Structure 1
Amino acid sequence: MEPDSLIALEALPDGEFVELEASLNGDAESLLLYRQGEQVRAWLNVCPHAGRRLDWAPGKFLKSKDGLLVCAAHGASFQPTDGLCVAGPCKGDSLRAVALRIVDGQVQLG
C-alpha cells in the first residue's frame, strides 16, 4: 500500500460503513467511509446534531432496513449517497464530506 493511501478498495465491503482514522490538516480524525461499487464516499464521523460520533462502538454503525446510516446517540438517519440527514433531530443538515480519490485500487484522501 502506498504511504498516502487509507485502505485498498477491495478491503472495503460493498454497501457497508467503515471507520478509519486519518490525518486531516495535521489533526487525527475519525472518518466514515461507504463503498458503493467502484465509488467510495467519506465523511467525518460526527453527527451534525450534537457533535457526537455516529458509531455505537468504535467502527460499529447502525443501518436501517432501507440502508440509511443511523446515529447511535439520537437516531438521526443519513443517506449513504450524499450524507444528507432525512430523519431525526438534524433533518436537512448533512454530514461533513471528506474528498477521496481512488488511485491504482487504493483509496486516498483527495
Structure 2
Amino acid sequence: MLGIVDRTGRAVVSSSLNHAGVLAALDALAPDSLQAVEAEVDGADESLILHRAADGSVRAWLNVCPHAGRRLDFAPGKFLRSKAGELVCAVHGAAFTLADGQCVAGPCRGDRLRAVPVRCVDGQVVLEAAPAQ
C-alpha cells in the first residue's frame, strides 16, 4: 500500500484488490479518510473510493463523477475535500456528501455517486456478494 496525505492533512491510501475480494484492511482506513482501490464490479475493472466515517462504518462508490464520467481524484488516490468535508470532483468542482454520495453543489446537483456495497469482515473491507441470479 502507498500512503499519501492530501492537502487537508487527512491520510489517503491507495491499494490493489487481492483475489479474495478484500479491498482494504479496516485499520488502514483512519476515521474520515478516503482510499482509492481497484476492484471488479459487474464484470469490469473499476476504481473505487472507500470512506471510513467517524462512527467506523465504511462506504464505497465508483470513482466516477456523474456529471461527465471522469474520475474524481486529481491524481491516483488523491482527493479534494471542501471546507465542509465533502468530496470534490477535481475536474468540475461538484461536491458530494460522504454520508450518502449525494451531489450538493456543482453541475450534477441532485445526482449521486454510484454506491458499491461493501461490508467489514474480520477487520477487512470486502465487496458485498452480488445476489445469485
TM-score by length of 2: 0.79
Unmatched runs of 5 consecutive residues or more in structure 2? 1-17, 129-133
Deviation at 1:4, TM superposition (A): 2.2
Counterpart Cα distance in 2 of 1:19 and 1:101: 16
CA distance, structure 2, for counterparts of residue 42 and residue 75 of structure 1: 20
Matched, 1:27 2:47: no
RCO higher in 1 or 2 (8 Å CA, sep ≥ 6)?
A: 1
5+ long unaligned stretches in structure 1: none
Residue 76 of structure 1: which of 71, 74, 94 is its match? 94
What is the TM-score when the length of structure 1 is the normalising length? Answer: 0.95
1:71 CA drift (Å):
0.2
Following superposition, the deviation at residue 2 of structure 1 comes to: 8.1
Letter of the aligned partner of 2:119 in structure 1?
Answer: R
User: Aligned pair 1:53/2:71, yes or no?
Assistant: yes
Identity %: 61
SS at match of 2:27: helix
Q: Deviations over 1:40-63 (max 9, x none)?
A: 000000000000000000000000
CA distance in 2, matches of 1:90, 1:25: 24
1: distance between equivalents of 2:19 and 2:125? Answer: 10
How big is the alpha-carbon RMSD for the aligned residues of Structure 1 and Structure 2?
Answer: 1.3
| Whole-angstrom CA distance in 2 between matches of 1:53 and 1:81 | 19
Per-residue Cα deviation, 1:37-89 (whole angstroms, up to 9, x for no partner): 32000000000000000000000000011100000000000000000000000
